[in-house]
């Protein structure tokens, strides 16, 4: 179906055009092997299993946390849960859902078990786009497809359970069987996509890496910290600084943007907020535009890929990563956040978390 995106007509595939019944017919003789039970693997695997597809999981048993999680989620060792090697041997659609760095490491194993006519499936364009660095070069006799949900594995599962679905892009990198596109779309519907829009492996990874480092995560966290620090330096309490920086955004304003767009959110705020936002928006754009241009250039020329592969492949990386995350967790700003979240009514656990703001360590009970 053609949809007008701001004056540009684009193709999208909806559940109405490609219903679940059609997806099941396309994949009726397929065994979908989910390789890796870390971030996207559990969500996509469980969603497809709940939708009635023939799904198995391939997970290295030495990664006990992920293996145990799979068992807890109902995957049966020897029946629906296997080693990576056996899952690849049994599967006809191999979903490579381990991390980008890990894909490079296990690719020789995956490649060895690919059979003519199999489909090699990705949820990120990273390994294929940067094949000169990752060495992930599929054989000519398999389909190479991608469905990239526009959200974390947690969101993919949560949106599936509440019936909303999550938007996904899809791409065909190689069509050996002549069925690559319908296989991609069928899996996309199977994992619970709300709708799917076409892209390429290259365009997906360029936009994805830019988004993660930019507005979605890196820029968002950076400007939150900057505003919080300025408010605190000028005598505002942690509670006030956090609420004006994060809580009002996540609990109120972003929901208005989600409902009807940024202009609608502006129209439903005070006149003072409107005027200030309209006056300061160009200043922030001017300040950040050069940073985004530099970011996109580094993504496109492969520098960000090199950074990912070199850092995540280091010995002791998980410990270093945890140390970086602990800095965020133990910061005053996010301790204030924990206290603020605990005060929200009707929290899921119905349990109040008591946090000490401005001290080291995790102090919740």
- The pLDDT value recorded for residue 359 is 32
Q: How far is CA 261 from CA 68, 130, 266, in A?
A: 42, 35, 9
Residue 139: pLDDT over 80: yes
Please name which of 170, 129, 124 lies closest in space to residue 147, comparing C-alpha atoms.
170
- The pLDDT value recorded for residue 85 is 97
Domain ranges of the chain: 2-199, 211-342
Exposure string over 120-138, b if 16+ CB within 10 A, otherwise e: bbbbbbbbbbbeebbebeb
Residue 345: pLDDT over 90: no
Please give the structure tokens belonging to residue 11. 């193709």
Q: How far is CA 227 from CA 242, 279, 357, 360, in A?
A: 9, 17, 18, 22
Residue 190: pLDDT over 70: yes
Q: Is this structure's pTM higher than 0.85?
A: yes
- The pLDDT value recorded for residue 346 is 67
Segment 245-276, tens digit of pLDDT? 999 999 999 999 999 999 999 999 899 999 99
Distance CA 343, CA 95 (A): 41
Pairing of strands 55-58, 81-82: parallel
Residue 44: pLDDT over 90: yes
Q: How far is CA 316 from CA 17, 104, 285, 312, 320, in A?
A: 48, 18, 38, 9, 7
For 98, counting Cβ atoms within 10 Å of its Cβ (0-12 exposed, 13-18 middle, 19+ buried), the class is buried
Residue 358: pLDDT over 70: no
* Percent of the residues in the chain that have a pLDDT greater than 90, as a whole number: 85
Cβ atoms 109, 135 nearer than 8 A: no
Segment 227-251, tens digit of pLDDT? 999 999 999 999 999 999 999 999 9
Q: Class of 2-199 per CATH?
A: alpha beta
Distance CA 138, CA 129 (A): 12
Candidate ranges 74-83, 255-264, 348-357; pick with highest mean pLDDT:
74-83
In this prediction, residues 4-20 reach a mean pLDDT of: 87
Residue 350: pLDDT over 90: no
Rounded to 5 degrees, φ, ψ at 57 are -120, 135
Residue 314: pLDDT over 60: yes
For the annotated catalytic residues, the residue numbers are 124
């Amino acid at each position: 179906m053609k949809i007008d995106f701001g004056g540009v007509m684009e193709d999208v595939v909806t559940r109405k055009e490609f219903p679940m019944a059609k997806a099941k017919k396309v994949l009726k003789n397929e065994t979908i092997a989910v390789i890796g039970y870390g971030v996207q693997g559990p969500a996509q695997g469980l969603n497809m299993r709940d939708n009635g597809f023939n799904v198995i999981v391939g997970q290295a048993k030495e990664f006990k946390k992920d293996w145990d999680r799979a068992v807890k989620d109902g995957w049966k060792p020897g029946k629906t849960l296997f080693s990576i090697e056996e899952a690849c041997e049994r599967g006809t659609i191999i979903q490579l859902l381990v991390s980008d760095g890990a894909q490079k490491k296990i690719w020789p194993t995956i490649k060895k078990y690919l059979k003519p006519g199999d489909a090699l499936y990705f949820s990120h364009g990273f390994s294929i786009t940067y094949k000169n660095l990752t060495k992930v070069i599929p054989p000519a006799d398999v389909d190479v497809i991608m469905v990239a949900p526009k959200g974390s594995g947690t969101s993919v599962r949560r949106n599936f359970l509440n019936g909303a679905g999550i938007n996904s892009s899809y791409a065909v990198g190689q069509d050996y069987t002549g069925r690559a596109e319908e296989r991609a779309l069928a899996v996309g519907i199977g994992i619970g996509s709300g709708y799917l829009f076409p892209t390429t492996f290259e365009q997906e990874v360029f936009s994805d890496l830019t988004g993660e480092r930019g507005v979605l995560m890196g820029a968002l966290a950076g400007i939150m910290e900057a505003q919080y620090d300025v408010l605190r330096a000028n005598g505002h309490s942690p509670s006030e600084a956090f609420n004006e920086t994060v809580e009002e955004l996540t609990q109120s304003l972003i929901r208005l943007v989600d409902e009807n767009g940024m202009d609608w959110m502006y129209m439903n705020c005070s006149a003072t907020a409107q005027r200030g936002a309209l006056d300061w928006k160009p200043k922030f754009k001017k300040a950040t535009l050069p940073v985004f241009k530099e970011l996109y250039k580094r993504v496109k020329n492969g520098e960000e890929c090199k950074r990912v592969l070199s850092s995540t492949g280091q010995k002791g990386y998980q410990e270093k990563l945890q140390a970086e995350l602990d800095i965020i967790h133990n910061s005053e700003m996010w301790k204030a956040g924990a206290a603020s979240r605990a005060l929200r009514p009707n929290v899921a656990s119905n349990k109040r978390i008591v946090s000490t703001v401005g001290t080291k360590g995790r102090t919740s009970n």
